Structure 1
């Protein structure tokens, strides 16, 4: 048995390496000097993947001489008789970042391969420096080439990745080519079936990052969860010579200037005692300027120090009980439509959440762009971040697990220094089974190993208690693993009508805080009528009124995040003149118009007071 477990672990490691042939993630590119590659790119639609495979379905990149047919070569005719059947430079143009679905009408429903090409010049600041190309997100599989050479592959549509390009970079006439494939797959994460739009393309920023020969690759600066008067963490160097190097951590406002020395692996661990910390919370989102220096490399960050934990049925922020007044959010751009990516998109969504009275948001059902958590830090909004393990994943497929683990690791690495992030969610509405429990249990174990400072949850499903349909409970082995018991419920929408809420009670047997991760009903803005008529604003408002009465009776209830802030695109939602391709459960329309239920929830949250 032990040999079998070792073999399985070894196979997962191999699969992980195949999934992401990339360097370790550069932390805090957000605050580093960068050169943007955003803007106009050329693209070629390639549904048959003829630019990747020859007519024998053999990858060009595996051939010693791939010839002119390989799109990543960016071939040009050598003379007037040379055959080249594509030309990036005369192909159509598309804007990066952005999805192809909303930019190009003929690609609205397209799922498949699109090749992107960007030409650029670049001169390094000093000859010894290293240069990386950094992608904030590409959906879904990316094969990346620079000047005709393969850099690597990344799988996953919502997390950052980077490749070092130092040895391939030229001062003039570089060309970066990316094969982007957003086809849904049964063994993917997420899998084939979702209730959101599968936006394809380079959906977030692309940057060139120049760093010193020895550079700060990773770091953690956090409040010690076991001692709220101590800041602890580590700094990790990478480069040519990283052992026995000096590192300095400076937090001017706290009068901290800490000298560190790296070990043989380039890592320095630290603990700093300070009794004068002004803790970050939702009323006072205090951020300290933190500077980390090593040699010629310096990284600055804005870090809040706070503790988050549970005690019995309570959630404690800085050891004080907090009720999470939340809303769920999809990453769609208000007004512009399509995948959200800009700081303006994030600002609008979080401003609406604050207008609603929220101190907390659930970012569903995948990692959102970094602007969201950076702004949440500044605005004092707590955040639930979610791995896109959604509905029915291939639980027994080792490659699927490695994929989910990698995506979860990437978002944790990106956001582990963000005070606003308090919950890592493992999954959403996944049916119980032994294989699923093992899959999610291993994800939770891995999460605690790499970040033991936050809470773990998942959006579970509710069931009847002892066969009684009027009493609901959570009967799920994974409920024993999570720190916060969260579940989705739709009494009054998928389960009867709003008046049914008065007949339902809840018996939660676990001694844990409860968050209701979803409830809601669909309504089209401006569609008015009797409260018994579906799709009217009155029906949605009545459901909110009745649901709030119902869930107030749950003893362990410590908050909730109704579904959803804004109407969003979904190919599942086809009802003409009502849905028209949108999930209509938003409290705000896609045009920014607030529905009647917005005020119902806002009044409820305001009645909860202004405490954390």
Structure 2
């Protein structure tokens, strides 16, 4: 476990800082897990609901040596063991607990998960326990021994557990805690459901002891003919060979490792990835002991004044915002099929761009979007009023940003890294977000940095973008709910916008709510007619913004939110979707569709 993650665990969890001899170091994240040898640990897991955390703390509130992670069993009728995973409840993984068990609908706290699995292993291999996401704090044990912890509900993490596994039967226990905390990322108050649990897939991945751990393959910034990158080889000695080949381009190069990495450069003229032609090339990486392959696209993304240029040409980003909420059944998205349904609706809407709000969505979602030709805005959950003057909060945010970029750096579809949404102006916030932007650029200088802003003033009769964060980002996102939270919809079309920043603007949120099937006059709240009128007038407003480079209205589909209490209309759903949670299109869907298909070709 890195020093940063240990520090986060201490400060945010308040548990002991001492690492036992059995704790296993959290390895750097493996790239491209679909190309690995792996055993799926998905399916039914045994669980114990533990709101008082009795499985971790004694009655003196001290960590227990024989907590639930030991999976103790009665050995004689007189033994006292006050828990039993095998006779308790069960949940499906991946999945959230809120929609699987009615008693856990609003639950926030600790649930223990346990899974038995078989492992045969090999003398020359390493084993990694890989979690695609657990919300929010996960403490992982293998065969009763702690291997480490992770904070953050939307990014993957792994532990190298070879030394703890034995041939035959093994078990893993995960303590999952989704309690909201003021100092966390996100913080206490959000407008989406706090789905708890092991919400994405779990794998046991095996590799050779010397293996390809990570890599970056993309066009050099400013070039369409020079593919550059690096390959990190775990346990490599200096001078070992790494081969990178792209059969579709008839190109291959061999580089030598130095300090565990081999850097390379390939001169080529790839067909550039774009929404109209989402071309992906097979890229093969190999060493003497390991070989993996990936599908990678090549494109350029940059700005010129108020324009966004994809492959050197201006593109208007016709988008929609999407939450990781499953269609029809709601709850967390857990399958490729659910990803494809959401993306299919966005394609029907006429989109070439999606904003994956307000946190990193699954790798499956990003890869499916890439195949279908969507540009992607990817975001970390620095949302509303986090503790901008708290160092551990910043460390948490930076770690989540690092994990997001690490996972998706080879995805051509991702063109925007977003560092925040609707954060209040102030010096601590500006310092916090400026440092995040700087960190993102240090990790990846080939993409654009953005943030969704919601504070605008007035100057000379125009809405004026004056947020100082505009100086920091490459593309300015603006959330503006004209006709819903301010003024009448009819007044929106007359609003003019101005800015001192010579940068592109994306209207990152705009819209209003409606209950599908509720009809009435366009002046009546919650009717489809009211929502449609909001869209008509906001589209008129956007037509008059000469520095507008795109839009991602809020939102594709209705989604659960504990903030939304209006019975018979909201019922724990944010109703700003263009499509209901049951897949029914509202009138506003067709208003936006017409704008995208007929005006912005």
Smaller-chain TM-score bracket: over 0.9
SS at match of 2:99: helix
- Distance in 1, matches of 2:324 and 2:479, equals 19
Task: Provide Cα deviations, 1:395-430, integer angstroms capped at 9, x if missing partner.
Answer: 111111111001111010000000100000000000
Instruction: For 2:369 and 2:221, locate their aligned partners in 1 and report how far apart those are by CA, in whole Å.
Output: 21
Question: Are positions 1:323 and 2:330 aligned together?
Answer: no
- Map 1:103-252 → 2, pairs under 5 A: 103-124=100-121, 126-239=122-235, 241-252=236-247
Deviations 1:564-604 (A, max 9, x none): 00000001111111111100000000000000000100000
Find the counterpart in structure 2 of residue 42 from structure 1: 46
- Write out per-residue CA displacement over residues 2-47 of structure 1, whole angstroms, 9 at most, x where no aligned residue: xxxxxxxx99686358689621111111322211000010000000
What SS does structure 1 have at the residue aligned with 2:183?
Answer: coil
TM-fit CA distance, 1:295? 1.7
Residue in structure 2 matching 1:273, options 263, 267, 272: 267
Which structure 1 residue ranges, 5 or more long, are not aligned? 1-9, 61-65
Unaligned runs of 5+ in 2: 14-24
1:246 offset after TM fit, Å? 0.9
Aligned 1:42-441 pairs, distance under 5 A: 42-60=46-64, 66-67=65-66, 70-124=67-121, 126-239=122-235, 241-263=236-258, 265-274=259-268, 276-441=269-434
SS at match of 2:108: coil
1:519 maps to 510
Specify which of 535, 541, 550 is matched with residue 541 of structure 2: 550
After superposition, the C-alpha distances for 1:445-490 in whole angstroms (9 at most, x for unaligned) are 0000011110000001132224x6x521122111100000111001
After superposition, give the CA deviation of every residue in 1:82-117 in whole Å (9 maximum; x if it has no partner).
211101111111100000000000000000000000
Contact 1:244 1:266 in 2 (8 A): no
Residues 1:454 and 2:477 aligned together: no
Shift of 1:388: 0.3
CA distance in 2 between counterparts of 1:598 and 1:463 reads: 27
Superposed structure 1 runs of 4+ greater than 6 Å apart: 10-14
CA–CA distance in 2 between the matches of 1:119 and 1:76?
A: 14
Contact 1:12/1:399, CA 8 A, preserved across alignment: no
Contact 2:283/2:293 (<8 A) preserved: yes
Q: What do residues 509-542 of structure 1 show as CA deviations (whole Å, max 9, x unaligned)? A: 1000110100000000000110000100000001
TM-score between the two structures when normalised by the length of structure 2: 0.96
Instruction: Give, in whole Å, the separation in 1 of the partners of 2:131 and 2:561.
Output: 26
Residue pair 1:22, 1:154 contacting (<8 A) in 2 also: no
3-state DSSP class of the match of 1:507?
Answer: strand
Counterpart of 1:5 in structure 2 is: none
Q: How many residues align?
A: 588
Alignment root-mean-square deviation, CA:
1.5
Secondary structure (helix, strand or coil) at the match of 2:529 reads helix
**Deviations for 1:116-160, whole angstroms, at most 9, x for unmatched residues?**
000111112x31100001000000000000001111000000000
Instruction: Say yes or no: does 1:29 pair with 2:33.
Output: yes
Q: Residues 174-198 of structure 1, C-alpha deviation per residue, up to 9 Å, x if partnerless? A: 1100000000000000000000000
